[in-house]
């Protein structure tokens, strides 16, 4: 009774790409935030007035993830139609 739509495998693959991007961003943020941020405050170095751990985890991390998302959207994701081809099939 239920016919599998051809768009499901594509959407499934793209969902896993999104999960991978989120995991990468979390690892980046956690690694720099807690890696550099766990030092004593006296040993911090500053970039543009921010502690290095904050700059790398939050500012540079945001710029890097936005650039990666732009590349992924332009090169790996497909534009799929949202409506069914035969009208209101159920």
pLDDT in tens, the chain (90 residues): 677 888 889 999 999 999 999 999 999 999 999 988 888 889 899 999 999 999 999 999 999 999 999 999 999 999 988 887 665 555
Q: Is the pTM of this model over 0.85?
A: no
Q: 51: which strand partners?
A: 46
For the four alpha carbons of 84, 86, 87 and 89, in that order, the dihedral sign comes to negative
Distances (CA, A) of 71 to 24, 64, 75, 76, 81: 15, 11, 6, 8, 21
Question: What DSSP string runs through 31-90?
Answer: HHHHHHHTS-GGG--EETTEEHHHIIIIIIHHHHHHHHHHHHHHHT-----SS-TTSS--
Encoded tokens for 15: 């969902």
């Amino acid at each position: 009774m239920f016919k599998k739509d051809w768009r499901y495998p594509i959407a499934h693959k793209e969902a896993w790409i999104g999960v991978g991007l989120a995991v990468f961003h979390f690892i980046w943020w956690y690694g720099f935030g807690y890696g550099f941020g766990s030092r004593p405050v006296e040993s911090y170095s500053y970039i543009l007035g921010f502690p290095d751990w904050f700059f790398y985890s939050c500012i540079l991390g945001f710029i890097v993830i936005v650039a990666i998302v732009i590349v992924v959207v332009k090169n790996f994701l497909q534009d799929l139609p949202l409506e069914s081809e035969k009208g209101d099939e159920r």
